[in-house]
Structure 1
Amino acid sequence: MRCADTGESRGIRGHLLSHREAATAAAEYFRGARIPESLEGALNSAYSERPRDVIAYLSNYFAELSNPPVISRVRGRKVLDGAGKDTLEVDVFCMVRNMDKRICSAVISADADMAPSLAGSDVSGTTEKSVKSVERAMEWIQESIGPDLEGILPSEQSTIDQILSDFFKPKMEEERRRREAEQHAAAPPAGSDPTPPVTPPTSKKKGSAKGKKAAVTEKPIPPADPPELVVGGSPAVGAVSLAVATCTATLREVPLYSYISALKHEEMPSKLMLPAPFITLLSYGKSGKLRFMKEVMMVPPPGLTAQQSVELALSLQAQIMKHTDTVGKSGQMVIKSVSALGCLALAADRVEQPLDLIREACEELGLALGTDVYLAINCAAHELMDYNKGKYEVLSGAWKSPEEMVDLYVDLISRYPAVTALVDPLRKEDSSQWETLAKALGDRCYIITDVASRSVSNLLQGGILPASSGAVLKHANQTTVSDLLAAVRLIEGEKQVAVLGCLNEESSEDSMVDLAVGLGVRFMKLGGLLRGERATKYNRLLAIEEDLLNSDRLGSYSQFDFPVLWSEPQVSANQEEAAAVSPR
C-alpha cells in the first residue's frame, strides 16, 4: 500500500534535493580551485616528510599556495617628531589569507625649511603650516590615495609610485596657479615706477692718495632664485611610497635595505657597501662671532667600520667636551647648548677656532688629523648672504664677496688639508664661483650641494650643479622611492657622489639608513650623537653592519675617490703644430 504524499515527505525530498545541489555546487567549486589535487599533494608531502607537527606543516604548505597579499587600506595619522612637532605616519594594511592585517608603518619628517604655504590659511609660523600640511596629507590618504591603492600588490612599487605622482601633479599645478595669481594681484599697476634695484655698496680702494676717493663698485651678485614650490599635504606621497616599500620587505621577511638594493640592481648584489657617515661634532652660528660653520663633521677614513667610526666620534666628542669646559672657564669659548642636529652648539671668534679645537682633541687622543680623522664642513652659505650688501657674513660684521669666499676656502684647506668635504660653500646662484672653487679644490675635496641643489623631484628634471662633486638627497614631501632610485642613478651616471641626508628636524624613524644602504650612496649625513632621534639612526647603521658581516656581504671603500670636476681642454697635435708656426 502506497503512503500518502504528505507535506512532511515533500519537505524531506526537497531537503535532500537541496542538499544534493549544494554538494554538487561545492564539488564544482573545490574542483575549480584545484582543492582535491592540493589536498592530495599536501597529504603526500606530509607523509613523505613525517613532520613532528603535522598541522603546522600543512598550514605552511597551504600558505605557499594562497593568493599573494594585496593592499586593503592605507591610514595616515599624526605623530610627534624629535622636536615635539606634528609629522606624518602612514600605516599599510594588507589582505593576507583572507585576514585584514596591519603590516607596517613609515614616518616622514616635515622639514621646517620646506614648510609649505597653504591656500586660505591664516596661521603664521612654520609650526602651524606643518600642522596644516599633515592634516591635509591625512585627508588625501583617506579620501583618495588609500582607495586608489586598494587591491594592488605592494610589490608593484613603480606602479604605485606612478599612481602617487599622477595624483599629486594636479595639486602642484593648482598651487602654482594660485601663487601666480597672488603675484599678479600684488604687482604694481602698469605705468608706476618699479622699486629701484639694490645697488651694491662701494668701497674705498686701499692705497688711494690722500684726499681722493677712489671708489670701487662691487660686482653685483645674481639675485636669489625663487623658492621651489612646496604643496601642503605633499608628505602623503613620500610617506605612502616608503610605507609600501617597507610593507613589501616585511611580507618577504627581508630587511628594507635588501629590498631597495634589489629594486636598484634588479637582483640581490653579493656585496653591499655601507655609506660613510658624516658625524656632526660641532655647530656654530647661533651665538658668537663665527657664522659660516653650521656643522663641523667627522668623516671616518676609508676602511673604518661603522662601529669604529661611531666609537671614534664618541671619543672625540668626549675630549672636546672636556677641553671646551676648560676653555670656557677662561671666557674664550663656552658650550651653549645641544643643537637640533644632535651636536654641541658653540660660540667662536675666529674661522680657525673650531678646527684648532678638533686638532687639539685629536692630539690628546693620539690621533693624526688628516690620517686617522677627516673633516667636513657644512657652510650653509645661503644662510649667510645679506642681499642689501651683496656679501656673505662670515664673522659678525665681517663680510666677503663670492670671490673672497673662494679665496677663504682655498686658504683654509691649504692650512687644514684634513677637510675633505665642503657642503654648500656658496649659494647655488654663484655659478662662476662654484667653477672657480671646483678648479682649485675639486681634486682633493668633495664640493657638495645640499640646499644649493634642488629637491629630488626637480633634480630629475634639471640635473645638479655641474661644478659640484655631488648632491645631498633628502626623502621629503612628494619624493617617492622610485624618485630616489632615479636620482641616485642620475648622479652616478655623471660620475658624482650621492649623499643621503636627514632633514633639520627628525623623527625616530630609522628607515633612512636602510634607504642609504640600499641605494648605495657614498655618504650619509645623519647629524650628531647627542639626540635620541639621531642616535636611533646610528644604531640602525650598526645593526645593518652586523647583519652584513654575519652574512659575509659587507664591502668597504679603500680610498676617497674625488670626481673629476675640471680638466684643461685637450689640444690636438695639429693645433699644437699650427700654434708653433703661427706668427707672433
Structure 2
Amino acid sequence: MAATSIKDLQAIEVLDSRGNPTVRVFATLENGVRVSASVPSGASTGEYEAVELRDGDPTRYGGKGVLKACANVMEVIAPALRGMDAREQLAIDRTMIELDGTENKARLGANAILGVSMAVAKAAAVSEGEELYRYLGGSEARRLPVPCMNILNGGEHADNSVDFQEFMAVPHGAPSFSEGLRYVAETFHTLKKILEAKGYSTAVGDEGGFAPNLGSNEEAIELIVEAIEKSGYKPGIDISIAIDSAATSFSTDKKGHYNLKWSGAGEMTSDDLIALAKEWVAKYPIILWEDPLAEEDWEGFAKFTKELGDKIEVVGDDIFVTNTKFIRRGIEEHTANASLIKLNQIGSVTETVDAVRLCIEHGWRAFLSHRSGETCDSFLADFAVAMGTGHLKSGSASRSERLAKYNRLLEIEAQLGPDALYYWK
C-alpha cells in the first residue's frame, strides 16, 4: 500500500459564517499526514445546483444540521476510498460520484463529497511537499487573481432596500495583487466614512459589504464612484465596478419578468433590465455584470450579451451552476461570455476543474467565487491561482472568513516573488 493511500476519513459538523452547520472533513493518509477541509454554503442558490444535504430535523439548527452528510462521509465514502492513492484525484472523485448515483449528489450530499474531495487534494499536496496551488495547477501556476471586492450588499445578502445583491470594486489598474487589495480596501474604508456622513447605516451583509437602505440601486454605484475618487483613484482606470444582480431572486417567473420591489423600481421585463444596464454601462465604469437576468431567462441573457458582451464581462451563475452541461449550452447559444465557478455548486474538485477548462477552451472567462456562508478555509485562494483565471470574488475587507482568502493570496504572492503575474485580461 502506498504511503499516500487514504487511511481514514472523519467528518464533523461545524458552523459557517452565518452560524449555520456545515461539514468539515479530516483526511488521514498512511504516511501520517492529516488535514481538514471545510465546505461553504450559499444563500442565493441556483435551482440546478448540486444538493447540499441537510438533516431536516426541526429540533436541531432549524432543520439545517448536517449530521447525515457527516455520517455519509464516515460510513459510506470512507470504506469505498480507503486504500486509494490520494494523488488520484480524478479516480477518487469519480468513485464518490458513482457511489452517490444521482445527477445532483442528492444521496450522499454535495457537502459530503466536496469535503472529502478538498481534503484529499490538500493531503496529497502536503505529501508531495508542494503548495496546494502548485500541486493543483502545476509549475506554471503563478497568476494572482484581481480581487473583485464586494463593498455594498443587497438582495439575498442583506436586509435593506437594494435589489441587486453585490456591488464590487475591481482594482484592474493596480500593478500587483497586494496593491490591488490595498486599492479596494482603502476604497471600502472611504465608503464607510461617506455612508456615515450621509447618516446611512454601516452595518454589513453576509459577505462583509455595507448594507444601507438607499434611495435606489443606482445610488449604490454613485456612492462607490465617490469612494473611489475620494480614495485617490481614477474610476475606470485604477478601479472599476462589477455588479451581481442575482436576478433570479427578484424574478417573478425566473424567465422574463422581474419585480424590483425593495428599491421601489417595480415590475420590469428582460428588455427593461437590458435597457437599464446599457444606460449604466454608458454612464459608469462597469467592467463586469453577473446574473443580470434570471436562471431560466436564456433568451434574455443572450440578448443582454449581444448588446453588452463586447463592452463588459457577462457572467452566468445561477443559469450555469458550474455545470459543464449548462456551460456548454451557454457557449452554443452565446448566452454569456463567462461563467461563475463555485466548488460547492457542482460538488467536487475534478468537476470544478472541468468547468474552468471548458470555459477557457472556448474563449470564455471563469470567475472564481466564494459563497455567502463561508469558513476560514483558504482552499479557494489556492484554487484560484491554480486555475489562473485572473479574477476572484471573496467578499469584503471585513469578516475573517473573507480575509482568510485574501491573506492566503498575499502569502502566495510573497512566495512567488517576481514570478507572480497580475492582470485583468
TM-score by length of 2: 0.90
Specify which of 64, 81, 99 is matched with residue 130 of structure 1: 64
Equivalent in the alignment of 2:178: 307
Separation in 1 of the partners of 2:201 and 2:226? 17
SS of 1:448's equivalent in the other structure is strand
Separation in 1 of the partners of 2:385 and 2:415? 12
Higher RCO structure, 1 or 2 (CA under 8 Å, sep 6+): 2
Q: Percent identity?
A: 25
Alignment RMSD (CA, Å): 2.7
Per-residue displacement from partner, 1:225-244 (whole Å, max 9, x unpaired)?
xxx78556331111111111
Equivalent in the alignment of 2:154: 284
1:447 aligns with 2:314: yes
Separation in 2 of the partners of 1:387 and 1:275? 35
Specify which of 349, 354, 368 is matched with residue 220 of structure 2: 354
- Number of equivalenced pairs: 416
Equivalent in the alignment of 1:87: 22
Q: 1:525 to 1:129 in 2, by over 3 A?
A: farther
Which 10-residue stretch deviates more, 423-432 or 387-396? 387-396
Specify which of 75, 97, 111 is matched with residue 42 of structure 2: 111
Q: Which has the larger radius of gyration?
A: 1
Contact 2:118–2:348 (Cα < 8 Å) also in 1? yes
1:405 aligns with 2:339: no
Contact 1:337–1:344 (Cα < 8 Å) also in 2? yes
1:345 aligns with 2:205: no
Contact 2:86–2:123 (Cα < 8 Å) also in 1? yes
Specify which of 473, 479, 491 is matched with residue 347 of structure 2: 479
Equivalent in the alignment of 1:325: 196
Contact 2:43–2:372 (Cα < 8 Å) also in 1? yes
Specify which of 554, 564, 567 is matched with residue 420 of structure 2: 554
Specify which of 378, 384, 390 is matched with residue 250 of structure 2: 384
Q: List runs of 5+ in structure 1 lacking aligned partners.
A: 1-65, 174-227, 263-267, 329-333, 561-584
**Aligned-residue offset at 1:327:** 0.9
Which 10-residue stretch deviates more, 380-389 or 355-364? 380-389
SS of 2:151's equivalent in the other structure is strand
Equivalent in the alignment of 1:495: 363
Contact 1:73–1:150 (Cα < 8 Å) also in 2? yes
1:73 aligns with 2:8: yes
Q: 1:232 to 1:148 in 2, by over 3 A?
A: closer
Which 10-residue stretch deviates more, 145-154 or 507-516? 145-154
Separation in 2 of the partners of 1:260 and 1:102? 18
Contact 1:456–1:474 (Cα < 8 Å) also in 2? no
Contact 1:116–1:129 (Cα < 8 Å) also in 2? no
Equivalent in the alignment of 1:158: 90
Separation in 1 of the partners of 2:359 and 2:133? 20
Per-residue displacement from partner, 1:363-383 (whole Å, max 9, x unpaired)?
323321111111101111111
Contact 1:455–1:474 (Cα < 8 Å) also in 2? yes
Q: List runs of 5+ in structure 2 lacking aligned partners.
A: none
Separation in 2 of the partners of 1:456 and 1:414? 32
**Aligned-residue offset at 1:396:** 2.0
**Aligned-residue offset at 1:556:** 3.0
Q: 1:289 to 1:342 in 2, by over 3 A?
A: closer
Separation in 1 of the partners of 2:55 and 2:154? 37
Contact 2:323–2:346 (Cα < 8 Å) also in 1? no
Equivalent in the alignment of 2:378: 510
Equivalent in the alignment of 1:239: 115
User: What amino acid is aligned across from residue 170 of structure 2 in structure 1?
Assistant: V
Contact 2:36–2:119 (Cα < 8 Å) also in 1? yes
User: What amino acid is aligned across from residue 27 of structure 2 in structure 1?
Assistant: V
Separation in 1 of the partners of 2:307 and 2:327? 28
Separation in 2 of the partners of 1:86 and 1:429? 30
**Aligned-residue offset at 1:87:** 1.0
Superposed, which structure 2 residues align to 1:25-40 within 5 Å?
none
Q: 1:118 to 1:154 in 2, by over 3 A?
A: closer
Which 10-residue stretch deviates more, 309-318 or 492-501? 309-318
Contact 2:245–2:290 (Cα < 8 Å) also in 1? yes
Separation in 1 of the partners of 2:52 and 2:403? 31
Separation in 2 of the partners of 1:378 and 1:372? 20
Q: 1:415 to 1:145 in 2, by over 3 A?
A: same
Separation in 1 of the partners of 2:77 and 2:148? 36
Specify which of 320, 323, 338 is matched with residue 456 of structure 1: 323
1:256 aligns with 2:132: yes
Specify which of 137, 144, 153 is matched with residue 274 of structure 1: 144
**Aligned-residue offset at 1:161:** 1.3
Contact 1:237–1:478 (Cα < 8 Å) also in 2? no
Separation in 1 of the partners of 2:364 and 2:312? 13
Separation in 2 of the partners of 1:288 and 1:480? 34
Contact 2:44–2:246 (Cα < 8 Å) also in 1? no
Separation in 2 of the partners of 1:119 and 1:104? 24
**Aligned-residue offset at 1:116:** 5.2
Superposed, which structure 2 residues align to 1:426-437 within 5 Å?
426-437=293-304
TM-score by length of 1: 0.66
Equivalent in the alignment of 1:45: none
**Aligned-residue offset at 1:309:** 1.4
Which 10-residue stretch deviates more, 293-302 or 496-505? 293-302
Separation in 1 of the partners of 2:159 and 2:21? 28
Structure 1: which 4+ aligned runs deviate by more than 6 Å?
Answer: 117-120
Q: 1:491 to 1:478 in 2, by over 3 A?
A: closer
SS of 2:6's equivalent in the other structure is strand
Q: 1:117 to 1:296 in 2, by over 3 A?
A: closer
Per-residue displacement from partner, 1:187-232 (whole Å, max 9, x unpaired)?
xxxxxxxxxxxxxxxxxxxxxxxxxxxxxxxxxxxxxxxxx78556
Contact 2:9–2:78 (Cα < 8 Å) also in 1? yes
**Aligned-residue offset at 1:352:** 2.5
Separation in 1 of the partners of 2:147 and 2:375? 18
Per-residue displacement from partner, 1:258-301 (whole Å, max 9, x unpaired)?
01102xxxxx22x621121110111134455442x211101112
SS of 1:399's equivalent in the other structure is strand
Q: 1:233 to 1:436 in 2, by over 3 A?
A: closer
Which 10-residue stretch deviates more, 156-165 or 454-463? 454-463
Equivalent in the alignment of 1:420: 287
Separation in 1 of the partners of 2:115 and 2:86? 14
SS of 1:346's equivalent in the other structure is coil
Per-residue displacement from partner, 1:93-136 (whole Å, max 9, x unpaired)?
1222xxxx2521111123345595979956499x54431xx212
